Structure 1
Amino acid sequence: MERLHREAGWTQRQFTQFVNRIGSEHGMSLNYKEPSVTQWLQGQMPRRAVRPVILEALSRRLHRPISYIEAGFPAPADSATDAGIIQELIELGRLDMDPVRRNLLSAGLFSVAVKIPDWRDAVDRIASAQSGGVRRIGEGEVSMVISMTQNFSDLDYQFGGRNTRPVAAAFLVNTVAPYLAAEGSDSVRNRMLSAASDLCYLTGYMAVDEGQQGLGQKYYLKAMELARSADDRNAYSLALHGMSSQALQLGHHRTALRLTSAAMADASQIEPNMRAFLAGQRAYTSALTEGSGSALPFLRKAEMEIGKTGAASKVVMGHYRDAVLEFDIAQVKYGLNDTVGSVQSLKRYAALQNRGHRRRAVLDGATLAERQLEIGHLEAACATWGQMLIDYPYVQSGRADQRVLYMANSLKPFLKNSVARDMYERAREAVRRGIAPGSK
């Protein structure tokens, strides 16, 4: 509180005047004097009802959202009354923006036992949030958040999330959180909640890409909470899909199956494109846990649903298209121990992919090369890895770093082969030059 007071540049009298004025806007009769500020600065806690008024005063003065935690207040006990979800979102994003504090935040671990919010839970943690004088939002603000999310997604696909995520977190804190607390029609507010959910999903995805699993899970859970508040089943299912993919990446196959099954519940409320996206994921998790009898019907369902997708789809993130279906086919084949078939499908998938998506090209190229090596095609694998290394210097991604390190380790047994030896040296040089800081 002392730091914020100093940053605001207020005298104690100015501080109390501002708090009293905002209190009157909320129908509260406040008459604070300078001694109250002295007590706050010395650590005495103001009354619970006054805390959001003080936060609003500081937010207006500093032109940025101030959370309970940043001001030294305990998190609100009744989040439905105090719009705790917004405060939590601000704090999560603010920590992610700060290079020093980000290390502490990233230390969290992925939990397979995390409690998944129930879609049918009628509690809306954000419905009672008041604007407190923040601007009124309309369709223009919603469109801007959607466009920014799409731009962040494009940057992530091209270059990875290491440099993009802090910018997305700053946008989440400084722009989206105030919008969530603003006035607006029910339709606009729900659309803003959905847009915020998509941005949280993307930010979580970028955290997972960097290997920060606990942080990614926090963002995914926040995305689910926002989606539930918006009554947006598509966004809710997308966040669950992200958590399922994360669980798969970490080897928790049964957890991934549970999460995907939860995402597909009440499928009639989900758009065909999202149903296809979820069915493809379910097919792969089923291949790993239940076998072909369960996996193949879900692949057919994905193919059927993708044919129903039209121009009217409102899905912003998680678009499912023929290339993604081909990738899911490759994953299912691999899950069913058909590595040769998986390699063939990955080649078809690569032919359908956008070459501008460098991070995707690196990760997919690594997957193809690893499987080519698995079936004994050493020189083909080296050729694929060679293509991957063309894109790799442009990518800032923890996952990409790890795949290059894995590439070097995989080639060690084959160093008598001149092609393999050359590729091994190229991989080592990429790490040595500092292109892959996450792998050191």
Structure 2
Amino acid sequence: MARPVTNAAFEGLLLAAGYANSHAAFARQLNHTGRNEGAWRYDAASVYWWLRGRRPGEHVQAAMAETLARKLGRSVAIAELGFGAGDSIGMCVYPATVDGAIDTAEQIWTRLARRLNEQDSGAFDSGKALEAALGWRYDLPDQAVSRSGRQQVTSTDVQSLYVLADHFTDLDRRHGSGSPRTRAVMADFLLRQVAPMLHGTYTDAVGRDLMRAAATLSGQLAFMSYDAGEHAMAQHHGTLGLRLAKAANDRLYGAHLLANLATQAVFLGHAREATRLVEAAIDGAGRAPAAVLARLHATAATAYGRSGERRACQLALTKAERALDRTSTDLGPRWVGYFSPAHLAGAALRCFGDLHLHRQALRHAPEALTLDNRNTRTRALHTALIAITHARAGETEAACSWASKLEQHAAGIHSARVQQRLRDLASTLSSQQVAPQVNEVLHSLAAMPAAR
């Protein structure tokens, strides 16, 4: 059954121009109008999705207005097309085509650059996340991504994007993403440099690599937005990254991004949906390298643990541990190199805590802190989790001892996730028997900049 039309204004213009039953003809004329932008390949399916709420880029809307104006014999304002204000975006829609993904990238990067200092009032939509998972898993591969546009893009140009992605990843792990400054720099770079590259000229091979690099940057920005508490924007970037990874034909990185969406869903209390997301990621990854499987199964364990599925949780942890044991001979892609025994121990600590097996959880505490020095945010998160687990086990003195270490570990970290974990610790401790030591720790936690 076809979805109902949601853009009546655009539908009315197509009807008046004689394109009501000839969407393919309109798409061909649009491609001709936009020939200076490159080799557009919009078709009847593109028109279908525009009628049902998908919003094309501003340059595409301008070409639409010009195409319709020629047929109607009058000027057509962009506002008449019914796509809304220039900074509005359809809620986390998984683009049907590569061209749609490129348009969506330009839209959300423009919005982020313009509105970074405004509060993100949107919410995570688990239904849209599951739709994106289905599209990524079951849509046919893109046959070609080559393009003819205004600027030539080479493999050297693409490699520079990976270098910058590594730089942003390092900043995020060291300092968190709560401060908008890093995201502002990244948004400006994506809009001014990466978007024109996506609209440029490149071969299919270079195009696949460009899509992979753009997916890497979008995925990193998604995680940074999640860490900053901007959950709707994080989902926008994660969904876009997923589609770009599909265009790159990189199923492993796509699975990684889908697992990140699952992690966000767990954080926000959508545990059941998170299990379905990460199951799709594992299924889509197929015969993946051991390091990738370790990360995916660890994420599955946290989803099962939060939803109370003890047996599935323990099985996933076992699979993750076995996969991690094989990483010395099966390393996997560079981007998964961060996942270490300490990360798996942190996942186990969290899982057993969610299952109310606190003493079993605390067995993983020492290894959870054997982190690389660059992972300062993860160290703060794990330290707070250890304190929370001690408190929930009724070990108030140990909880206070670990809490006292947080001032050092959380200093200089801007992270909504760290803030939430400090609030959870304060809430758990405040329910303990009132004692001078607890009151002192609560006062110290309230005074931390990271807790505000």
Q: TM-score range by the shorter chain?
A: 0.7 to 0.9
C-alpha distance in 2, partners of 1:82/1:48?
24
2:65 to 45, 55, 72: 45
Contact 2:150 2:199 in 1 (8 A): no
In the alignment, does 2:348 pair up with 1:329? yes
Secondary structure of the equivalent of 1:353?
Answer: coil
Contact 1:137 1:182 in 2 (8 A): no
Identity %: 22
In the other structure, the counterpart of 1:216 is 234
C-alpha distance in 2, partners of 1:183/1:134?
6
Contact 1:358 1:394 in 2 (8 A): no
Secondary structure of the equivalent of 2:345?
Answer: helix
| Distance change >3 Å, CA 107–CA 129, structure 1 → 2 | farther
Equivalent residue letter for 1:313: G
Deviation at 1:86, TM superposition (A): 1.6
In the alignment, does 2:150 pair up with 1:133? yes
Deviation at 1:145, TM superposition (A): 1.3
In the other structure, the counterpart of 1:307 is 325
In the other structure, the counterpart of 1:349 is 368
In the alignment, does 2:99 pair up with 1:103? no
Equivalent residue letter for 2:326: K
In the alignment, does 2:280 pair up with 1:265? no
The 5-angstrom pairing of residues 210-289 of structure 1 reads 210-289=228-307
In the alignment, does 2:399 pair up with 1:358? no
Which structure 1 segments of 5+ residues have no match? Answer: 1-19, 29-41, 51-67
C-alpha distance in 2, partners of 1:406/1:380?
16
The 5-angstrom pairing of residues 5-404 of structure 1 reads 45-47=65-67, 83-98=99-114, 100=115, 103=118, 106-114=120-128, 115-116=131-132, 117-122=135-140, 124=142, 127=144, 130-138=147-155, 140-163=156-179, 164-289=182-307, 291-309=309-327, 310=329, 313-317=332-336, 319-350=338-369, 352-404=370-422
Deviation at 1:333, TM superposition (A): 2.2
C-alpha distance in 2, partners of 1:74/1:290?
35
| Distance change >3 Å, CA 85–CA 378, structure 1 → 2 | same
C-alpha distance in 2, partners of 1:390/1:262?
39
C-alpha distance in 1, partners of 2:65/2:173?
46
Contact 1:197 1:224 in 2 (8 A): yes
Over residues 355-385 of structure 1, what are the superposed CA-to-partner deviations in whole Å (9 max), with x where a residue is unaligned?
3422222222111111111112222212212
Secondary structure of the equivalent of 1:231?
Answer: coil
C-alpha distance in 1, partners of 2:290/2:37?
46
| Distance change >3 Å, CA 303–CA 373, structure 1 → 2 | same
C-alpha distance in 2, partners of 1:284/1:175?
37
| Distance change >3 Å, CA 186–CA 308, structure 1 → 2 | farther
C-alpha distance in 2, partners of 1:225/1:297?
30
Over residues 405-438 of structure 1, what are the superposed CA-to-partner deviations in whole Å (9 max), with x where a residue is unaligned?
44444443558523222222222222xxxx24xx
C-alpha distance in 2, partners of 1:44/1:180?
20
Deviation at 1:317, TM superposition (A): 4.7
Deviation at 1:312, TM superposition (A): 5.9
| Distance change >3 Å, CA 162–CA 324, structure 1 → 2 | same
Tell me the matched-pair count.
Answer: 377
Deviation at 1:241, TM superposition (A): 0.4
In the other structure, the counterpart of 1:14 is none
C-alpha distance in 1, partners of 2:393/2:197?
53
Contact 1:277 1:318 in 2 (8 A): no
Equivalent residue letter for 1:340: R
C-alpha distance in 1, partners of 2:101/2:63?
25
C-alpha distance in 1, partners of 2:392/2:88?
55
C-alpha distance in 2, partners of 1:186/1:47?
29
Secondary structure of the equivalent of 2:65?
Answer: coil
Equivalent residue letter for 2:172: D
| Distance change >3 Å, CA 336–CA 389, structure 1 → 2 | same
C-alpha distance in 1, partners of 2:309/2:89?
49
| Distance change >3 Å, CA 267–CA 339, structure 1 → 2 | same
Equivalent residue letter for 1:146: Y
C-alpha distance in 2, partners of 1:120/1:219?
20
Deviation at 1:244, TM superposition (A): 0.6
Equivalent residue letter for 1:137: T
Over residues 247-300 of structure 1, what are the superposed CA-to-partner deviations in whole Å (9 max), with x where a residue is unaligned?
111111110110011001144353322111111122232334463432333222
Secondary structure of the equivalent of 2:252?
Answer: helix
Contact 1:200 1:223 in 2 (8 A): yes
Contact 1:254 1:289 in 2 (8 A): yes
Secondary structure of the equivalent of 1:91?
Answer: helix
Contact 1:247 1:256 in 2 (8 A): yes
| Distance change >3 Å, CA 337–CA 87, structure 1 → 2 | same
C-alpha distance in 1, partners of 2:399/2:116?
41
Deviation at 1:220, TM superposition (A): 0.9
Q: RMSD of aligned C-alpha atoms?
A: 3.4
Equivalent residue letter for 1:45: A
Secondary structure of the equivalent of 1:394?
Answer: coil
Equivalent residue letter for 2:66: P
How high is the TM-score relative to the length of structure 1?
0.76
Deviation at 1:191, TM superposition (A): 1.8
Deviation at 1:394, TM superposition (A): 0.5
Over residues 226-261 of structure 1, what are the superposed CA-to-partner deviations in whole Å (9 max), with x where a residue is unaligned?
011111101110111011111111111110110011
Contact 2:345 2:364 in 1 (8 A): yes
Deviation at 1:26, TM superposition (A): 6.3
Which structure 2 segments of 5+ residues have no match? Answer: 1-31, 41-61, 71-82
C-alpha distance in 2, partners of 1:258/1:294?
13
